A and B are shown apart, each in its own frame.
Chain A
Amino acid sequence: MAGIAPHPQDWLRVTPAGLLCEPGGFFIDPTRAVDRAVISHGHSDHARPGHRHVLATRDTLAIMTARMGEGRAGATQQALPFGDPVTINGVRVWLRPAGHVLGSAQICMEWQGSRAVVSGDYKRSPDPTAAGFEVEPCDVFVTEATFALPVFRHPPAEAEIARLLRSVALFPERTHVVGCYSLGKCQRLIAMLRQAGWDRPIHLHGAHVALCRVYEELGIRLGELRTATVAKKEELQGAIVLAPPAAVADRWARRLAEPVVAVASGWMRVRQRARQGGVELPLVISDHADWDELLATAEQVEAPEIWVTHGREDALIHALSLRGIRGRALHLVGRGEEDEAEEPAAT
């Protein structure tokens, strides 16, 4: 890049509405309604309703429309395939897969020879429901830091699915109810169960039904799904049921047959915390990068400077400094309100 290229801090600015690309005149994942928004993925702490113009992947736009209602997910929508650049007020913008959930994208921007990549939420481990993360070298990389402590190293998700299936085999008369978020984690679990050979119907809490339908419409095959709410108790013996984390140990779960309460989340890694929540089978399955993935990504993008958003900035910035990379905490408001970005409170 040319020596005279501006530093990204001169054209990317934190505002109360979120991260603003000043020359482009657009916000990235703004937390309030704006004129022009570029959206990384469909979780509600990144995708808010009421923007006038929204640019995102086709899948993210479909998810937003399904969740917010027709017309609320941007008065005008612009679908951008991965890798296709557009120019907005002189800023070149393109998307790369982030591997977080279906449709999730890193937002890559270049202005006057200076390049920044906002990764949104991402992970590096495989996920049959989301396109895999692609490395885009840049001058500034904006990373999440949800699991930015060296104690968070997610085990292979396949091994956790295998543990769940071993438990189902050991307790064939009980329902296994897995607490998971409705966008992303739920469908990933279903797809992984299918890969592991589980071909029986999977039962869903009502809150999970709509987005599974959207995934199917977008071409992700999930197999036979049923609504747990109308199922008979006998039918739920030996069944796997997916439900929001808040429902698994509460009144809703009474309809299940002697449930084994599982929760699928990166937070389950710390057993002492998992135990406080009354979880019987903690499954460490996360859609966020773990410590090793955060550091590997930081090195691969070759950025001399990394901005760290929501999560545990201290440890990551310290670890980056040991590698000669300048880290900077980027204080964005309103992050971590939907998926596992927020550590669950003990119930």
Chain B
Amino acid sequence: MSLPAFAELLERLVFTPGRNAKLALLGQWFAQQPDPDRGIGLAALTGELTFTAAKPAMIRELVASRTDPELWRLSYDYVGDLAETVALIWQPRAGVNAPPPTLAEVVEALETTPKAEIPALIAGWLDTLDAGARLALIKLVTGGLRVGVSARLARVALAEWSSQAVEEIEEVWHGVAQPYTPLFRWLEGQGAPPDPRDAPIFRPLMLAHPLEEADLAALRPGEWRAEWKWDGIRVQLTAGPGGKRLFSRGGEDISAAFPEIIAAMDFHAVLDGELLVARDGAVAPFADLQQRLNRKTVTAKMQRDHPAVVRLYDQLFEAQEDLRALPFDARRARLEAWHARTAPPRMDLSALVPFDSIDTLAGIRDGARAASIEGLMLKRADAPYVAGRVKGLWWKWKRDPLTVDAVLMYAQRGHGKRSSFYSDYTFGVWREDGELVPIGKAYSGYTDEELGWLDRWIRNNTINRFGPVREVERGIVFEVAFDAAQLSSRHKSGVALRFPRIARIRRDKPVEEADNLATVMALVENRPAAD
């Protein structure tokens, strides 16, 4: 029954907005399915396992041989999606009573069947399945399974299901391959943790807490080191005889999107740093890096126009030597010496920011207005490198947010607990010609009471509906806080805000007195040369 069970899991994951519910669904899958099917299913969900055995056109031909063309046309017109139309319209041959295949059978048969026999193989499977399972099979064999289960979510689900710490699972994750049988055996208490040996695995990152005013007073300058908090994405670089990998902060393998970094990793070490786009040493706004993210492959032009670099923060391993138990100062000395010796291209060190008092440091922070800097990081000189967010070892001290008064233009309902509330707000500012232009979208920062009040106001002041979106009367001014304003060719206003959130509802302020676009443009920093 495993393919129908997988289809049910898949469908529920696709339709379920809530993270906790997704974790429960995955946990149930791990608990109920046998090996190797549970591991194969997991690999298929996270994109570790993909097939290219069948093309959509082949599936289309299969169904054409069994379907009246006019009925196919009307049906495809109505449904709009090829795989789903095929799954629904498929008429199993009468008299088929074979059981549905297991995932393991599907994987094995696709690997061993000659290409010419693949269509008949798939048709035979489709005859044994119901509509939901047919859709799952078609998506699976054509490589079109997009369910949005990240490897990180999968590891959290494994941790919750097995009560094993997620950091422990992350340490071995990249050293095990699907169908993960040794991993499941360990998590069920029936074996030792898998030994990754030389495989380039991900080590969980050390994370920082935001610094509050109260924490600030307790800081003694001599015990702390400061460095800039760069506005890119945190990465881990791991390279050695077993291979090279670039991991995102959550442990996603993003090597394929940044081949120039991988090419520069001609060493045996594990490093922690910030991935940035930089031109001639100048860090570009986050929007430039965004162009490079979430890609499976990358063109030469993309690498040329948006060149990636890594600014190194820390060193976890040198060759086989684990440096994580060393204090920060010692690791920093090792990193500096290693970097001077190795001189890897595309990588520089994130400089330490010297200071003699917290006041000086506060002044330095206030003076930092470059868009590529989010603020300061404070690290205890004697702290080891520990996984996760341990309080009191690392602080992030973001610079004060910028604010703008903007007018609520559109609202949309949220997800999960907020699915009945209009909680996502698009806001705009006045252009010179008197038009409002949207500059961003925010869905946080307000209290529950404010959310309730806004929800009622939006329902009572709707002037237009576009599917799930309501356009509202110009009547509400938000004070919107954000970390930086950056030029953007993808927004009508020409500007994009980093981390916008609702700071206050300005019930006192008439909409005519909201800010204009020129004010927002004046906040844009680090304008890159036109490209």
| B356 interface residue per 8 A CB criterion | no
Chain B interface mostly: helix
Contacts of B84 in A (CB 8 A): 270-272
| A97 interface residue per 8 A CB criterion | no
A281 interface neighbour in B12, B70, B88, B130, Cβ under 8 Å: B12
Mask: chain B, 9-31; 1 = CB below 8 Å from A; 0 = not? 00110111100010011001000
| B8 interface residue per 8 A CB criterion | yes
| A9 interface residue per 8 A CB criterion | no
Nearest CB in chain A: distance from B139 CB, A: 11
Mask: chain A, 255-281; 1 = CB below 8 Å from B; 0 = not? 000101100000001111011101111
Near A by CB (< 8 A), chain B positions 83-137 give: 84-85, 88-89, 91, 130-131, 135
Contact at A272–B81, with CB atoms within 8 Å? yes
Q: Interface size on A (CB < 8 Å)?
A: 38
Contacts of A272 in B (CB 8 A): 79-81, 84
Contact at B420–A271, with CB atoms within 8 Å? no
Residue of B with least CB distance to A270? B79
Contact at A318–B70, with CB atoms within 8 Å? yes
Contact at B135–A171, with CB atoms within 8 Å? no
Contact at A151–B85, with CB atoms within 8 Å? yes
Near A by CB (< 8 A), chain B positions 4-61 give: 8, 11-12, 14-17, 21, 24-25, 28
Contacts of A312 in B (CB 8 A): 74, 78
Mask: chain A, 276-292; 1 = CB below 8 Å from B; 0 = not? 10111110000000000
Contact at B419–A269, with CB atoms within 8 Å? no
| B363 interface residue per 8 A CB criterion | no
B8 interface neighbour in A163, A254, A280, Cβ under 8 Å: A163
Contact at B74–A346, with CB atoms within 8 Å? no
Contact at A258–B417, with CB atoms within 8 Å? yes
B130 interface neighbour in A155, A279, A280, Cβ under 8 Å: A155
Contact at B24–A346, with CB atoms within 8 Å? no
Contacts of B67 in A (CB 8 A): 150
Nearest CB in chain B: distance from A148 CB, A: 9
Contact at A274–B75, with CB atoms within 8 Å? no
Given that A149-B75, A271-B135 are contacting pairs, would A322 and B419 also be in contact in the complex, using a CB cutoff of 8 Å?
Answer: no
Contact at B15–A149, with CB atoms within 8 Å? no
| B281 interface residue per 8 A CB criterion | no
Residue of A with least CB distance to B456? A251
| B68 interface residue per 8 A CB criterion | yes
B75 interface neighbour in A253, A261, A315, Cβ under 8 Å: A315
Residue of B with least CB distance to A292? B91
Contact at B17–A280, with CB atoms within 8 Å? yes
Q: Interface size on B (CB < 8 Å)?
A: 35
Contact at A314–B15, with CB atoms within 8 Å? no
Contact at A150–B8, with CB atoms within 8 Å? no
| B217 interface residue per 8 A CB criterion | no
Given that A271-B11, A322-B68 are contacting pairs, would A347 and B75 also be in contact in the complex, using a CB cutoff of 8 Å?
Answer: no
Contacts of A347 in B (CB 8 A): 468
Mask: chain B, 270-292; 1 = CB below 8 Å from A; 0 = not? 00000000000000000000000
C-alpha spacing A341/B28, complex, angstroms: 36
| B530 interface residue per 8 A CB criterion | no
Nearest CB in chain A: distance from B290 CB, A: 26
C-alpha spacing A292/B502, complex, angstroms: 54
Contacts of A260 in B (CB 8 A): 21
Near B by CB (< 8 A), chain A positions 133-170 give: 149-153, 155, 163, 167, 170
A155 interface neighbour in B131, B135, B420, B468, Cβ under 8 Å: B131
27 A-B residue pairs with CB within 8 Å: A149-B75, A150-B67, A150-B71, A151-B79, A151-B89, A153-B88, A155-B131, A163-B8, A167-B12, A170-B24, A171-B21, A249-B413, A249-B419, A249-B420, A250-B420, A251-B420, A253-B419, A253-B420, A258-B417, A272-B84, A275-B14, A276-B467, A280-B15, A312-B78, A315-B70, A315-B71, A346-B468
Interface residues of A (CB under 8 A from B): 149-153, 155, 163, 167, 170-171, 249-251, 253-254, 258, 260-261, 269-272, 274-276, 278-282, 312, 314-315, 318-319, 322, 346-347
